[in-house]
Homo-oligomer: A and B are copies of this chain.
Amino acid sequence: MGIEVSKKAIEEATHKLSNWGRWGGEDQIGTLNHVTPDMIVAAAKLVKQGKVFGMGIPLDRSGPQNGLFGGRWNPIHTMLATGTDSIAGVFDEHLKIRYADDALHMPVQAATHWDSLGHVFYEDKMYNGYPAKYVDSGGVHKNGIEHTRSKMVGRGVLLDIARFKGVDYLEDGYGIPNDELDACAKAEGVSIGKGDFVIIRTGQMENCLKTGVWGGYAGGDAPGVKFENCYWAQEKQIAAICSDTWGVEVRPNETTEANQPWHWVVIPAMGLTMGEIFYLKELAEDCAQDKVYEFMFTAPPLVITGGTGSPINPQAIK
């Protein structure tokens, strides 16, 4: 499309692509409304081999957070009771059961996760026109992730752009144009339709895991969709877009006027659900082998009241 990205382009897209009111003034889930019951039934029919691919990365201190963005940290896992306690007899007298227990402290977007529609604002508003001030220290009072608790089921499609282009991974800064998404889908023999959960593979994460260096992942440079993708996503009426990068869109940004300009539009104007930091290696290898790039997809969020998102372990079921 050749859009010159700028605040003006953001403003224009915001107006052209707005879904405010499309699903009623009370709506809090945006493009997830595209998914209808018949699509879920159809998605289940894609399960033909009984294979399941978990796409969540491990939640531990070896994760991608390095302080580059928002003060996020890698998951902190602490034990509340242990096997070593148990064999020392700590629980025998009073509790009378030998057990282990633990706790987790993490930013909800530190690893594989959904963004909720309360995650990004445009000026003083968020999706569906709710005031941004409804997101305060008490949480996300509108558009929180809890509203999607039964909504993350449907048809998934993998667009393996790296493989399509014959590389192990796309370079940081490579912006994927819309027509490349279409060409990739065509090459894979799939079409992107209404209500789909689209998963884009850049190979960036696999390269980080292979080299053992997260580097600018998460928070820095990355391959990803170009700003123009907002038009593509709206036209296709997809339910959600996901990728193996920390922010789906290309970095460095296509403009200096805004950070993550695609985010400025797709979350607050369109209400597009976004999945990030997906681990795709095994799924992608399987798709390359059996040439089947569509599957049943389910990625239930934790029901975090007022969450800007949720850590998840998405499942592709073929």
Contacts and interface: CB of A to CB of B under 8 A. Distances in A.
Copies of this protein in the assembly total 4
A302 to B, nearest CB: 6
Nearest to A309: B102
A150 B107 contact: no
A116 to B, nearest CB: 9
Contact of A44 (B45, B97, B126, B302): B45
A12 interface: no
A37 B60 contact: no
Contacts of A83: 88, 118, 121, 126, 131-136
Interface residues of A, number: 108
A210 B120 CA distance: 35
Nearest to A52: B150
A307 B80 contact: no
Contacts of A98: 120-123, 132
A289 B122 CA distance: 44
Contacts of A104: 104-108, 302, 304, 307, 311
Interface of A: 36-41, 43-45, 47-54, 56-61, 67, 70-73, 75-90, 95-109, 112, 118-124, 126, 131-140, 146, 149-151, 153, 257-260, 263-264, 296, 298-309, 311-315, 317
